A and B are shown apart, each in its own frame.
Chain A
Amino acid sequence: MDAAATTGASAVADDLVGFDPNWCLFWGRGVTGFHLDIWMPYLRRSRHRYLIMSGEDRFSDAVREQIASLPNCRILEPYAGAKERLRSCTDFRGFLYIGTKEQNFRVVNGFGGKSHVWLGHGESDKVYNAFRTASLYDSLFVARYSVVQRYPRAIRRWVAAGACAIGTPILDGAVKDPWVRPKPIRTILYAPTWEGHSARADYASLPTVGPALIGALPALSARGVTVVMRPHPTTGSRRPELKDMRDRIFAAGARPGGDKVADFSAADVIISDISGVTAEFLFTEKPVIMPVTSAMADLGKDDGRLAAEYPWAYRWHVEQESLGEVLARLEAQDPLRAARADAARDMFRGHRTIDAAVASFDLALDCVRWRKTRIPVRWVYEAKRRFPVLHDRRIGRVAARLVRRVRTLVRS
């Protein structure tokens, strides 16, 4: 580990006020490297200053190095002692949460006057993106507003009023490479998700796709097709047998994934689950194949649900047809090309570069404080996004004065 970097990253605990952070990214337990990776491009380009805090003060060396490379980010530790010092930071606005750990509850309670924003870690139809405690947060940053419908009805109005659609996080370096016409498939990227913390959140396709892929690999190799596999980093933590399956797929000839951008770029098509990576890959506008299994149907993610949530993905009924058939069909024609382009525009909110996405991200962070008013955060965010002239502080002041006057009139 780079000792200097580490010192530089965590020294902020001694000079917190001098650093004057705006936001604190909070992880309930340890900072998860692959979650941080999602937001790294945003943090790097954002005009805000960030602290990174973990409820258990667990930062891997890689994470420390990553954070040390960002001039506007610092690690805050130890959690128990340093947290209280945030109160003395004059420009500190609140917390950003990546997961829904119970420790979030304590932080929200401890800093009642600050803003609390749920960032999440990727857009998908998982239960983690429809959690009941969403009403704990002032604002949820979502890919698009329609995802609010996933949340329990009781809290939907709260979530809708505070939601900011900032688009699916863009992978730094990913490029748009749509199939303008059907083409032979040379590289398949298989990116299965993990098995979740409980059976209710088990969206992993490995148990069904694994055997099918192993069976298909000899024929695919013979055709010159490469299979690259990028399993979710926590695969097998609850169900160790999935690690065995992963290893068997590698043993059968699949190549392990490396750099995510290179893997995305090399792939002609992705096979992936209900998972953030599927939405990320949509940026390339290349075809997505989504396995449909009876296990998924048991979780409520049957063919109909997948068709509604992922109308831009080809559904592969693993128990009914072979991978070869699906690929052959896709090579012959790609009827979902236009649907993918539309979905990409919608899911990435028109962002074609990271800079554009970060501008939306920063704008959304600025708007969260409106939660304290009667005007929904969403309206303010969308108004500012569509009419950049509203960024002008003078106009903001005039608008605030107008609102005050109307309020006085209403009261009188």
Chain B
Amino acid sequence: MQPLRDRDALVAFGPAWCLVWTHHVRPGQFAIWAPYLRRSRHRIVVMASADRIADEVRAAIAEMPRVAVAEPYEGAVQWLHDVPGFQGFLYVGSFPTVAALMDDFPLSTHVWIGHGESAKKANRHRTASAFDSVFVADYRAVGRYPRAIRGWLMDGACAIGVPVVEGLQADPWSSPRRIRRIVYAPTFEGRTERADYTSIDVVAPALRDALPFLTERGVSVVVRPHPSTGVRRPVLREQLADLLAAGAAPGGDKGRDLTAADVLIGDVSGATSEFLFTRKPVLMPVSRALLELVKGPSRLRAEYGWTYPWDVERESILDRLVALERADPLATVRERAARRLFRDHRTVDDAVRTFDLALDAATRRSSRIPVRIRFDVRRWMDRRRVSSASRDASGGGTDATARDAGGADGRSRDDGGQRGGG
């Protein structure tokens, strides 16, 4: 849809939701939700408080039939008051402008959808209690939040799974295999030291030194840094430039890069969880600084038990890869984690159905029935309906049907575990 620049156009479009960014739309964050916006049955407007929306984001939105940019921000916020059926706001980050919108729209629904599943500080913010609902990958994520707000969040949480990357394919290692391609996807250094989860300081030099040997073995390295890398610590950009100069290749399309990779080297970051969809192995660089940030190795194990910790200073990447080519003891753990964290979604379409159901449920925070219960019951019914429809269509017994049925069972088991964990 083309941008909506006056009240009448906005009212005629009739958005149900407004996806809002403070200051500017971050293209990386937008890309996470773009597949969902494209497929959602809801009408959604995208806004940024400083009206800064990159051309690539505008181009992507222009092709989406039920999504439009609304601007200017100040005017559009006021026009939203006049839209019949407007449900509320979706927030990707937690910034002070969020508070102004909440107080301006006290009866609307305010949902925090975040920008990727990880154990970062950004995914356990104290301000989560201000939202009617927080969308999480699975209910265990609620356990990360400050204890004071956990009960309240649990009532409003909707586990919609980790956002699925467009075009990404599951490709589990059924048996150990030769590693030909590594993707290194480090996160950025955060806005403060207390949110600095990046491994670039240690991994970039180690990979640079190992590159000649990797190349000799026929292993290529693709680097996909977080788009904000180097904003607070420019030295990180230099380290990445050195790595690229030594022969690593820059990343391109995310779905293709991750599908082509045999192994991911990923930090505590949304990219690591996204890659889990492929079921392929993940190496997580572990340093003392990281352990302090995540409050100890046991906490890291609990969050990322499906990754191989890599002590960069003690172990070379070559040794790590050779060990992994020989044996992959975490294959089943990854499979289980993927089912749990992606809530049995096998496709983006599947994930978007869940997302839409969660949006429907979130609007009922004022009811005595917790949003979570409402959402899970409706999802269970929806998946049963889809499952039986696909059984009917295929005459019963296709792989897809069996998988769906398995998904339903698996979900029940998951829920039991999540209740315990939560």
Question: Do A104 and B99 touch across chains, with their CB atoms under 8 A apart?
Answer: yes
Which residues of chain A (83-137) have a CB below 8 Å from chain B? 100, 102-106, 108-109, 111-113, 115-116, 130-133, 135-136
Question: B189 at the A/B interface (Cβ < 8 Å)?
Answer: no
Complex interface bits, A127-164 against B, C-beta within 8 A gives 1, otherwise 0: 00011110110100000000000001111101000000
Are A135 and B130 in contact, CB atoms less than 8 angstroms apart?
Answer: yes
Q: Is A133's CB under 8 angstroms from B124's CB?
A: no
Q: What chain B residues lie within 8 Å of A113 (beta carbons)?
A: 126, 146
The A-contacting residues of B in range 309-358, CB under 8 angstroms, are none
Kindly state the separation between the CA atoms of A100 and B94 in the bound complex, as whole angstroms. 16
Residue A374 at the chain B interface, CB threshold 8 Å = yes
Measured CB to CB, the closest approach of chain B to A141, in angstroms, equals 16
- Distance A237 CA – B325 CA, assembled complex (angstroms): 71
Q: Please, which residues of chain A bring their CB within 8 A of the CB of B110?
A: 132
Given contact pairs A132-B106, A133-B99, A133-B102, A108 touches B126 in the complex (Cβ within 8 A): yes
Contacts A132-B106, A152-B106; A102 near B100 (Cβ below 8 A):
yes
B146 adjacent to A136 (CB under 8 Å): no
Q: Do residues A100 and B125 form an inter-chain contact, with CB atoms below 8 A?
A: no
Within 8 A of B (CB), among A10-39: none
CB contacts (< 8 Å) of B99 on chain A: these are 100, 102, 104-105, 133, 136
The reply to whether the CB of B97 lies closer than 8 angstroms to some CB of chain A is yes
Q: Is A349 an interface residue (CB 8 A)?
A: no
Interface positions, chain B 251-291, Cβ under 8 Å from A, are none
B103 touches A112 (CB 8 A): no
A interface size (C-beta, 8 A): 29
**Is residue A372 within 8 Å, beta carbon to beta carbon, of the partner chain?**
yes
Interface residues of B in 108-152 (CB under 8 A from A): 109-110, 124-127, 129-130, 132, 146-148, 151-152
Question: Would you call A154 and B130 a contact (CB within 8 A)?
Answer: no
Chain A residues, CB < 8 A from B234: none
In this complex, what residue of B is CB-closest to A100?
Answer: B103
Q: Which residues of A contact B107 (CB under 8 A)?
A: 152, 154
| A132→B127 CA distance, assembly (Å) | 13
Cβ of B98 < 8 Å from any Cβ of A?
yes
| Residues A112 and B129 in contact, CB atoms below 8 Å apart | no
Query: Chain B residues with Cβ under 8 A from A100's Cβ?
Result: 99, 103
Residue of A at shortest CB range from B146? A112
With A109-B126, A112-B124 already in contact, the answer to whether A103 and B96 are too (CB < 8 A) is yes
Q: How far is the CA of A52 from the CA of B315 in the complex (A)?
A: 51
Q: Which A residues lie within 8 Å of B129 (CB)?
A: 135-136, 158
CA distance A374 to B150 in the complex (A): 10
Closest chain A residue, CB of each to CB of B366: A153
Q: Find chain B residues with CB under 8 A from A108 CB.
A: 126-127
Does B95 lie at the interface of the complex (its beta carbon under 8 Å from any beta carbon of A)?
yes
**Could you tell me the distance in whole angstroms from the C-beta of A202 to the nearest C-beta in chain B?**
15
Tell me whether B86 is interfacial, beta carbon within 8 Å: no
Q: Decide if B130 touches A131 in the complex (CB within 8 Å).
A: no
Residues on A with C-beta less than 8 A from B152 are: 135, 158
A385 within 8 A of B: no
A243 within 8 Å of B by Cβ?
no
Q: Is A317 part of the binding interface, using a Cβ–Cβ cutoff of 8 Å?
A: no
Tell whether, in the assembled complex, residue B96 and residue A105 are in contact, meaning their CB atoms are under 8 Å apart.
yes
Determine if A131 and B97 form an interchain contact, defined as CB atoms under 8 angstroms apart.
no
Q: Which residue of B lies closest to A198 (CB)?
A: B104
Asked if A44 lies at the interface with its beta carbon under 8 angstroms from chain B, I say: no
Asked whether B365 is an interface residue with its Cβ less than 8 Å from the other chain, the reply is yes
Kindly state whether residue A45 has any CB partner on chain B within 8 Å: no
Query: Is A371 in the interface zone, CB < 8 Å from B?
Result: yes
Pairs A-B, 3 closest by C-beta atoms:
A112-B126, A132-B106, A102-B96
Residues of B near any A CB (own CB < 8 A):
94-100, 102-103, 105-107, 109-110, 124-127, 129-130, 132, 146-148, 151-152, 365-366
7 extra A-B contacts, CB within 8 A, seeds A136-B130, A152-B107? A103-B96, A115-B148, A132-B106, A133-B99, A135-B152, A136-B129, A371-B148
